[in-house]
Amino acid sequence: MRGGARARRPGGSPRRRGSLGRSELRPPIPPRGGGARACDPRRLARSAAALRAALRGRAVPHAGAALPRPHRPRGGTRAGERPAHRAGCCGRALRRTGSRTTRDSSRTCARSCATSRPPVIPGAGSTRCRSGRASPSSGCRARATRAGLLAAHIGAAFSFARFINAHGGAEVAAAPRSSVAVFAVCAETEEEARRLARGRDLFIVRLYTGRPGPYPSVERRWPIPTLRRSWPSRSTRASAAWWARRTR
Amino acid sequence: MVGTPDQVKERLLALAAGYRADELVVVTITHDFKARLRSYEPLAEAFDLPRAD
């Protein structure tokens, strides 16, 4: 996988990154109502082909496995092109994330390629910001946009998991049926609710600073006493705390 | 969304209107399961949801 990422397009121009332009976001086929027509395999194949053309080969993570792959001769690759078996969402996902790609994410991606899932659109917010940076990359937002665009395009319902990733989500309005998943804590008083929500903050900070564990109780000391001083850095912890607040 | 049921309801409705979403999925995770129930129940009452006995 890594070799493929290194060997890609030696003399080619770097792939353009960032969010899609407005004109590219317009579905080539206007989305119609859901129901049986949306599940018609011929319509799905047509939509997928049109979507692929609209995205010009850019990745549709998670949903990528459901899209039909373009036919390529086995073993025979053109000069400067990656082998055919790396042409799917794995390679694209690796290229997107570049050096930040972890072994975990490539494994997940490989699994999603190996299993042929129906074109169910997962929550856009499921793209977690692993880096814990204060300003998540536009990739998160772009991925959400693509999943939402795909849902609107093939007439599928779309659920935006705001409690995981609060960025993006405007495409919820485009889907025929949509929902937003939110983290909420209610209590009789505001102070009590805040106290209960602190457990989640601690959980998120631990998760995004590489120390996942069981869901902590609110009696646990705050901030985390067991973290080493050198790593994760203070800024990493601060941005993870910011992320926890942002998604609730 | 953290607060009293009325506060949370108000924010949830504003959020749903902002996203133009048809549905809301409320996720509440707490260490104590009873606290979780005590969070869901008043919120369900605030939204006049029928009990699923």
Q: Are strands A185-186 and A178-183 parallel, antiparallel or unpaired?
A: unpaired
Q: Which residues of chain A have pLDDT under 50?
A: 1-35, 57-143, 225
Cβ neighbours, 10 Å, residue A242: 17
> Is residue B35, in this structure, part of any structural domain at all?
yes
Tell me which residue of A171, A176, A187 sits closest to A19, measured CA to CA: A171
B32 domain residue, yes or no? yes
Q: Is the CB of B28 less than 8 angstroms away from the CB of A184?
A: yes
DSSP-derived pairing of the beta strands A158-161 and A178-183: parallel
Domain count for chain B: 1
Predicted local confidence at residue A153, as pLDDT:
76
In sequence order, what are the beta bridge partners of B23?
A179
Please report whether residue B31 resides in a domain: yes
Do the Cβ atoms of A174 and A121 come closer than 8 Å? no
pLDDT tens per residue, range A9-66: 444 444 444 444 444 444 444 444 444 555 566 666 666 666 666 655 444 444 333 3
Q: Specify if B51 maps to a domain.
A: no
Q: For residues A131, B8, A222 and B36, what is the CA-based torsion angle, rounded to 10 degrees?
A: -100
Report the alpha-carbon distance of residue A175 to residue B20 in Å, rounded. Answer: 10
Domain presence at residue B23 = yes
Amino acid type, B51: R
Q: Which residues contact A42 (CB under 8 A, 6 or more apart)?
A: none
Per DSSP, the residues of A40-63 read: -HHHHHHHHHHHHHHHTT---TTG
pLDDT of residue B36: 92
How many CB atoms neighbour CB B6 within 10 A? 12
The Cα A202–Cα A208 span in angstroms is 10
A200 to chain B: which residues are within 8 Å by CB? 29-30
> Do the domain assignments include residue B53?
no
Give the model's pLDDT for residue A79: 43
pLDDT for position A203: 85
Angstrom distance (rounded) from CA A161 to CA A123 = 5
Burial category of A68 from C-beta neighbours within 10 Å (exposed 0-12, middle 13-18, buried 19 and up): exposed
Containing B24, the helix (H) or strand (E) segment is strand B23-27
Interface test with B, best of A145, A177, A182, A217 (most B CBs within 10 A): A182
- B37 belongs to a structural domain: yes
| Average pLDDT of chain B to the nearest whole number | 91
pTM tops 0.90, yes or no = no
- The answer to whether A186 touches B5, Cβ cutoff 8 Å, is yes
Kindly report, residue by residue over B1-48, the tens digit of the pLDDT: 899 999 999 999 999 998 888 899 999 999 889 999 999 999 999 999
A185-186 and B2-3 strand pairing: parallel
Is residue B52 one of the residues assigned to a domain? no
Contact between chains at B31 and A180 (C-beta distance less than 8 A): no
Amino acid at position A246, single letter: R
Question: Which residue range is the domain that position B33 belongs to?
Answer: 5-46
Alpha carbon of B8: minimum distance to chain A alpha carbons (Å)? 7
pLDDT at A121: 41
d(CA B24, CA B16): 7
Cβ within 8 Å of B, A 187-226: 187-190, 193-194, 196-197, 199-200, 203, 215-218
Residue written as tokens 């859901």?
Answer: A34
3-state secondary structure of A238: helix
